[in-house]
Structure 1
């Protein structure tokens, strides 16, 4: 993979996490969107402002029964594999920050395991075809889908300091 030069203060791991084989995962489908590298918004807020990206999740045939119980209008978590993201930076120098920060303190797609989560709403659903329309995405067209989980009110919002 071609990588951009490091910015001042950035630290690379010295190895490619993609070469480590600690676990196996299976892609259950693919996300389709209007976004391509160099054209995608940086986050879901920017994507909403740009029209949402016309996201659609296409689930592979063996996994389509797993869509039972999902409904149009429901909020879900999409778990995605940002397959085109750089993986070797452990300290990054984002343009929006006042200095370098550890990867785990950022929402950047650049991370040892390029897993992304997006809280989205189902806009259409075709169980038979395995297609889920979603209200917004900032992921590139062709991004692999790892999992889908329902958003559960009261569970997916951590308690406040007084709770």
Structure 2
């Protein structure tokens, strides 16, 4: 297998005013025009999962109602062979000069390395009829409605 090296372009910071991303000075010019979008796709590195010695490829019932076992590639677990994660986040503001991006929400820890940012573009990113498996078909159909969903009911105690 060929190895590759990914260099973070910034990091997540959780503040009392909400989450933001601090972008490295060398990458800030790449933020020009991003503020025209309402949503972005953030690719991040689950740095706390890095080096998990024996990342299981099959997980025992990670969700209520799911099959008894699921392969890691059928889950959103950060514990995976390459702990790369992705979040679609609401863009609340961009300051190119300061290198900051304010977000409505992001599901990663303070200090999480950001690997890439892309504008959310429905032409490429939206699937009109995703047809999820029956065990998760009752989950929210959009990020806008997922905040009000009882996610505790999905994960085993």
Q: CA deviation at 1:111?
A: 0.6
TM-score of the aligned structures, taking structure 2 as reference length: 0.72
**Which portions of structure 1, spanning 4 or more consecutive aligned residues, are displaced by more than 6 angstroms?**
none
Q: 2:109 aligns with which of 110, 129, 140?
A: 140
Counterparts of 1:150 and 1:62, CA distance in 2:
19
**Secondary structure of 2:125's match?**
coil
Q: How many residues align?
A: 125
1:111 aligns with 2:73: no
Q: What does residue 63 of structure 1 align with?
A: 27
RMSD (Å), alpha carbons: 2.3
Contact persistence 1:72–1:122 (CA under 8 A): no
TM-score of the aligned structures, taking structure 1 as reference length: 0.69
Residue-by-residue CA offset, 1:39-63 (whole Å, 9 max, x unaligned): xxxxxxxxxxxxxx92100000000
Q: CA deviation at 1:21?
A: 6.5
Give the gaps of 5 or more residues in structure 2.
131-157
Structure with the larger helix share: 2
Q: 2:12 aligns with which of 31, 42, 45?
A: 31
Q: 1:90 aligns with which of 45, 50, 57?
A: 57
Counterparts of 1:126 and 1:64, CA distance in 2:
9
Give the gaps of 5 or more residues in structure 1.
1-19, 35-52
